[in-house]
Amino acid sequence: MPSTDRGTEPAPARSPRPAGGGGPDSDNVPPSLGALVADARAGCPRAFEGIYTSLAGQVASYLRWHRASDPDGLTNDVFVQVHRNLASFEGDVQGFRSWLFTIAHHRMIDDRRRANRQPSVQREIGDEDELGLGDVEEDAFAVLAHDEVREMLAVLSPDQRDVVLLRIVADLSVEEVARLMGKREGAVKALQHRALAALRRHIDSRPAYV
C-alpha cells in the first residue's frame, strides 16, 4: 500500500519539454519570438520557419515601401543572411529585430545603388500586392488604405520617410534608428516629429467625404 505521508512520496516524473513549447496545450499556443530565436540558434529548422513566418511580412513591407526592385526576393536574401549568421547573434528579442532590419536596410540601400547605376522602369505597387504594415501608429496610418499611405509617404523627405518606416514598420527604437542611420537620437526625434506633423497636415488638408 502506498505511504500516506505526502512528505516522503516521490514527485511525479516530468516529460521532457519540447523545444519552443511547453504544457499540454503547447500545440495551440504559438511560441514567442524569443523562444523561436533561441531554438533556431540551437539548430531547429522549424523554429527558423517560425521566425520567417512571424517577420517576413514586415520585412517585405519595409522593402516595398522603399520601392525595392524585388521586395520578395530581397526578403528571402535577408533571411538567408540571418540564417547564415544566426549562431553568432547575441541579444534579446528587440536586439534581434534591430539586427534583422539592419540587414534589410543595408539590402535596400544596395538595391537602390544598383538601380541608380542601371536605371530601369519600375512598376507601381498594384492593389493586388500584399502590403502588410505590421504595428502602425494610430494617428498616422490606422484608418488609411494602402494607396493613401503611399500618397502620404510621398510628401515626406527621404530621411523622414526612413525614420517613419524604421520606427513604425520595423518597430525599432529611436536609439536603434539613430545607430542605423548614422544620426544623433535628437535628430531622429526631430525627423519623426516633423514627419508626423507633415502627415497630420496632409490628412487635415484632404477634402472630407460624406
Query: Is the confidence at residue 185, as pLDDT, over 90?
Result: yes
Q: Which residue has the higher pLDDT, 118 or 82?
A: 82
At 73 the pLDDT is: 93
Question: CA 26 to CA 181: how far, in whole Å?
Answer: 40
At 67 the pLDDT is: 83
Phi, psi (deg, nearest 5) at residue 13:
-70, 140
- 112-147 pLDDT, tens digit each: 888 777 654 444 433 333 333 344 344 444 434 455
Between 2-16, 46-60, 81-95, the lowest mean confidence (pLDDT) is in 2-16
At 30 the pLDDT is: 65
What does the mean pLDDT of the chain come to? 75
Percent of the chain exceeding pLDDT 70 equals 68
At 153 the pLDDT is: 79
Grid cell locating 9: 512520496
Where do the domains of the chain lie, and which CATH numbers do they carry? Answer: 31-117 (1.10.1740.10), 134-210 (1.10.10.10)
- 20-61 pLDDT, tens digit each: 444 444 455 568 999 999 999 999 999 999 999 999 999 998
State pTM to two decimals: 0.65
- 91-106 pLDDT, tens digit each: 899 999 999 999 999 9
Contacts of 68 (CB under 8 A, 6+ apart): 74, 107, 108, 111, 112
Query: Is the confidence at residue 150, as pLDDT, over 70?
Result: no
At 28 the pLDDT is: 54
Band of residue 197 on the pLDDT scale cut at 50, 70, 90: confident
Question: CA 105 to CA 144: how far, in whole Å?
Answer: 25
According to the 3-state scheme, what is the secondary structure of the chain? CCCCCCCCCCCCCCCCCCCCCCCCCHHHCCCCHHHHHHHHHCCCHHHHHHHHHHHHHHHHHHHHHCCCCCHHHHHHHHHHHHHHHHHHCCCCHHHHHHHHHHHHHHHHHHHHHHHHHCCCCCCCCCCCCCCCCCCCCHHHHCCCCHHHHHHHHCCCCHHHHHHHHHHHHCCCCHHHHHHHHCCCHHHHHHHHHHHHHHHHHHHHHCCCCC
Query: Is the confidence at residue 189, as pLDDT, over 50?
Result: yes
